[in-house]
Amino acid sequence: MDDTFMQQFINAGQTTVSSLLLAHFHELGITNDEFLVYLELKSFYDAGNHFPDMATIAQRLRLSSTQVYQIIHRMIQKKILTIDTTQDKQGRSQDQYDFALMYRKLATYLSQQNRQVVEQKSSDQRQALFEQIETEFGRPLSPIEYETIAAWLDQDHYQADVIGLALREAVLNQAYSLKYMDRILLSWERKHLTTKQQIQREQEKRQQRQPSSGAAAQSSTEDIPQIPMYNWAEPDDDDKQ
């Protein structure tokens, strides 16, 4: 490359386009032609010309001025482009193209997409929880039991993994009952244990406080995982205080 080209390249400046807009402009109802016009307008805007001549845009896109006018008119109708009138320092009125509405549409679309992902994830977790409880109980859940679990999630705002831990405790104590699980959840709530991590830390503390059975017993069972058998549904006297 010669120095002349590099100088022209630098002097021409750059136009920055959001990758989010590039990836989702079709979802906003923007056609390829409309997006090309946007790129041209953005290029002029970045160079300080906020209302370029339509004939210049038409020449660069190899279109007629009428075609460019029709495209811009469609963009205004779609509420992705507005023409605003402002005043300069001398008080003279001047027009400029504004794409603020398009950016708002993009923000709204992405927000809806993110919300749908969260809702789908929540729905999947709920279904997985139902299936997990049915598997551990060895039977289908009744309609009332479905309502109880839904109330834990929607009204009491228990996390699905916390309910899963309550299920594990119930199974370890051979209590295949939602009422038993509810007593466990209430016990944790009274202790302000609201996350899986908090509950697991509390379980670890209880294991550490349990007396050792001696070195020989520990050696004979070192390969067997320790299972906490603390009955959360019926806490000891110290916990009730």
How far from chain centre, in Å, is Cα 100? 24
pLDDT 10s digits, 25-47 = 999 999 999 999 999 999 999 98
pLDDT tens digits along 53-91: 999 999 999 999 999 999 999 999 999 999 999 887 888
Report percent pLDDT > 90 for the chain. Answer: 71
- DSSP string computed for 172-212: HTT---HHHHHHHHHHHHHTT--SHHHHHHHHHHHHHHSPP
Cα–Cα distances in Å, from 174 out to 69, 136, 142, 162, 185?
75, 10, 19, 18, 16
Domains of the chain, start order: 14-98 (1.10.10.10), 120-209+227-240 (1.10.10.630)
What whole-number percentage of the chain has pLDDT above 70? 84
Residue 56: is it exposed, middle or buried by C-beta count within 10 angstroms (0-12/13-18/19+)? middle
Average predicted confidence (pLDDT) for the chain = 86
pLDDT at 96 exceeding the cut of 50: yes
- Residue among 61, 27, 31, 29 nearest 44 (CA): 61
Contact (CB, 8 A) for 58 and 69: no
